[in-house]
Amino acid sequence: MVNDGVAQVIENRKLKNKARIGTQELISAYFFKLPARNFRFSVVFLFLLFAVHGISQDVKPPVLPPLPFQQDAMQPVNEEPLAIQFYQNREFDKAADIFGRLYENKPSQYYFQYLLTCLVEIKEYGKAERLVKKNMKSEPDALRYQVDLGYIYYRQGNLDKSRKLYEEALKKLGPNQQQINDLANAFIIRSENEYAIRTYQMGRQLLKNSYPFGFELANVYERMGDFKNATEEYLNLLEVNKSYLQTVQDRIQMTLSFDVNNEKNEILRKTLLTRAQKNPDKTYYAELLWWYSIQQKDFDLALLQAKSLDRRLGENGDKLVSLASLAVSNERFDVAVECYEYLVSKGKTCSYYDYSRRELANTRYIQVISEPAPSKKQLEQLEKDFLDELKTTGEQPENITIIRNLAHVDAFYLEKPDAAIELLNHAIQMPGVSAADRARCKIELADILLFTDDVWQATLLYQQAYQDFKFDVLGQDAKFKNAKLSFYIGEFKWAKAQADVLKAATSKFISNDAIALSLLISENLDPDSSTVALGLYARADLLDYRNAEEMALQTLDSIPQLFATHPILQHVLYKKAEIKRKQGKYAEADSLYREVVKAYPDDIMADDALMQSAVLNEKQLKNPTKAMTLFMELLDKYPGSIFVPDARRKYRVLRGDSTH
């Protein structure tokens, strides 16, 4: 292939030479042999000939492909990545050679620092010193070079000489923000954090506090693990300008996200409380404390600060409404109730007066029915509060939640299902009610009709709500309740089909419930299609739903008598525990939960039973030590459980962390 290419080049040159020779012969023939009288024609001829020859010379020949030896020729190499690779591999001698060339061709701080570090690492102290002194001579105001030179002496073991240079650099510092930053950064690069702090502190004085270097100092303190002083610097910034508040919050939040042992949280909490108490006139400390308490879900502290800020700043209650909503979602109903009571106490001039009065009643309702066994006195007080509110404000769309909650209390707790049904039927027809609220009322009405054994009317209402909100969580909730109704009446295959559809539900809670129902059915249908065991369990579940607890327990007890071994027996134990808890028999419930864990440690109900046992000990049995042990057992034995995040949070609260 090489020979063919060379031959082609030689042939091209021969052709070009022949053309040149032919042209010369033609010129000679015409110029010397033509008669004189035709000389003028020869001149014209020669002019045309040279013109054509010139044009032919301008036409470029076709570009030939490069020969193989040309293709293999070395291309220019970017040496910087190679130098960095050597540096990262600690091959400093090789890196120094390359960075030396790069710095010579293009002097820059970037290459300088790499080169200097390499020279120091390979102990070429003389070269390193000459390099630095050369730059000191060309840039006498750049104090960073004194730090570099001091570092060289430090690496040589000459500490006194090193410290002397550092001190001299500080003495030369002027009221120049850029120079101050450069010198501090030079110290930081060499891990001389104490000198960096002194640099910033001197800079603050030299600039007469026109720029406080607060963030810079806080960063250095954090590098040193001194979060207390870092916090002080962040807070000092607010003394300079309270517009720094948002930036300070962002920085603190980032720092706290890496607070593994909760030490930084405690430091920040104490520092903020101290400053807020010593400086009651400086509201930005109270605002920062409010923000911090919300971040940490410290609702008691948040409530204190929200009230304080509302009084001092004459706010309209925004913080308290926000806190109440967050507290309810975190089951701190006592805090939410106190928020709404405070807003109601402000009177009708408060823009949240009507809203707070309604939400106070609804929050008390959630607080009471969230207890496993609420007292009749609590329930009757709830009913009275709802009726009083409806009497005061009348029938209006804003009261629809109160109406629905009142119906639930009457039907499921106070044995007044007829009054509840009448109330909901009236609410559904009430003008001005939104489609979503009307659907919620239909679902509540269907729940009550199922409770009173009107199964077919209940399923019709569930279906109506689903059809109106097919692609909404509201519709999915109605569909799941309808699937559960089918389960109660023994239509297991249909119930499972509906549950399977809902496995992909938008709501995590509906999805989890659907998965649990589907597994319950699929794992407990006998191979011969017998549904006796599952049918008895479904009947007991429905009896429990209708508050017939004793009949439900009797039905559950009959299952192990008929089936010595059956997958449903773990569900039987778990259901009995739930009923005992509902009855307020907490010790018996705890014992049954523990029996599930002991007898079925590898089955689906184990982590759920362990979590419920831990919560019982935490709240109802008032045994925090045992609760901590159980939460830790869940974390250790069931790391993939959906209860892990909640168990970890509760464990930390019981341990004494400030996070709730």
- Interval 225-234: pLDDT, tens: 999 999 999 9
Does residue 626 carry a pLDDT above 90? yes
Give residue 6's pLDDT: 41
Cβ neighbours of residue 420 closer than 8 Å, sequence gap 6 or more: 406, 407, 408, 410, 411, 448
Lowest-confidence segment of 140-144, 194-198, 492-496, 579-583 by average pLDDT: 140-144
Lowest-confidence segment of 189-203, 283-297, 570-584 by average pLDDT: 283-297
Lowest-confidence segment of 6-10, 305-309, 549-553, 625-629 by average pLDDT: 6-10
Does residue 69 carry a pLDDT above 70? no
Question: pLDDT tens across 495-521, in order?
Answer: 999 999 999 888 888 998 999 999 999
Q: Are 397 and 437 in contact (CB under 8 A)?
A: yes
Give residue 53's pLDDT: 43
Give residue 20's pLDDT: 44
Cα 440 to Cα 397: distance, rounded to the nearest angstrom: 13
Q: Which fold has domain 536-655?
A: 1.25.40
Give residue 237's pLDDT: 92
CA 465 to chain centre: 34
CA distances from 252 to 273, 286, 292, 417 (A): 16, 16, 9, 54
Give residue 34's pLDDT: 41
CA 558 to chain centre: 49
Does residue 61 carry a pLDDT above 60? no
Question: pLDDT tens across 380-422, in order?
Answer: 999 999 999 999 888 889 999 999 999 999 999 999 999 999 9
Lowest-confidence segment of 121-125, 253-257, 596-600, 631-635 by average pLDDT: 253-257
Closest CA to 403 of 418, 387, 415, 414: 387
- SS3 of residue 636 by DSSP: helix
Domain with CATH 1.25.40.10 in the chain: 536-655
Question: Taking the chain, what is the end-to-end CA distance rounded to the nearest angstrom?
Answer: 80
Does residue 58 carry a pLDDT above 50? no
Does residue 375 carry a pLDDT above 60? yes
Q: Are 390 and 384 in contact (CB under 8 A)?
A: no
Does residue 575 carry a pLDDT above 70? yes
CA distances from 489 to 239, 245, 538, 607 (A): 69, 60, 8, 29
Q: Are 593 and 612 in contact (CB under 8 A)?
A: yes
Per-residue exposure over 32-62, b if at least 16 CB sit within 10 Å of its own CB, e if not: eeeeeeeeeebeebeeeeeeeeeeeeeeeee
The average confidence (pLDDT) of the chain is 87
Lowest-confidence segment of 35-49, 200-214, 363-377, 562-576 by average pLDDT: 35-49
Q: Are 417 and 448 in contact (CB under 8 A)?
A: yes
Does residue 658 carry a pLDDT above 70? no
Give residue 528's pLDDT: 61
Tokens at 653, concatenated: 């609260």
Greater pLDDT, 75 or 580:
580
Lowest-confidence segment of 23-27, 149-153, 427-431, 455-459 by average pLDDT: 23-27
- SS3 of residue 331 by DSSP: coil
Closest CA to 236 of 207, 202, 201, 193: 201
Q: Are 296 and 660 in contact (CB under 8 A)?
A: yes
Does residue 73 carry a pLDDT above 60? no
Give residue 223's pLDDT: 93
Cα 271 to Cα 291: distance, rounded to the nearest angstrom: 14
Does residue 45 carry a pLDDT above 80? no
Does residue 127 carry a pLDDT above 80? yes
Does residue 147 carry a pLDDT above 90? yes
Cα 579 to Cα 487: distance, rounded to the nearest angstrom: 19
Cα 168 to Cα 181: distance, rounded to the nearest angstrom: 16
The count of residues in the chain is 660
**Average pLDDT value for residue range 309-316:** 88
Question: pLDDT tens across 523-559, in order?
Answer: 988 766 678 999 999 999 999 999 999 999 999 999 9
Q: Are 387 and 406 in contact (CB under 8 A)?
A: yes
Cα 629 to Cα 651: distance, rounded to the nearest angstrom: 9
Please report, as a single letter, which amino acid is at residue 445: L
Give residue 46's pLDDT: 36
Give residue 77's pLDDT: 59
Cβ burial of 20 (10 Å; 0-12, 13-18, 19+) is exposed
CA 496 to chain centre: 35
What's the CA dihedral at 25, 27, 29, 33 to 10 degrees? -150
Closest CA to 217 of 241, 244, 235, 239: 235
Does residue 432 carry a pLDDT above 50? yes
Greater pLDDT, 141 or 460:
460
Give residue 321's pLDDT: 95
**Average pLDDT value for residue range 338-345:** 96
Lowest-confidence segment of 6-15, 217-226, 312-321, 554-563 by average pLDDT: 6-15
The per-type count for the chain, helices as H runs and strands as E runs, is: 35, 0
Closest CA to 264 of 275, 249, 252, 277: 252
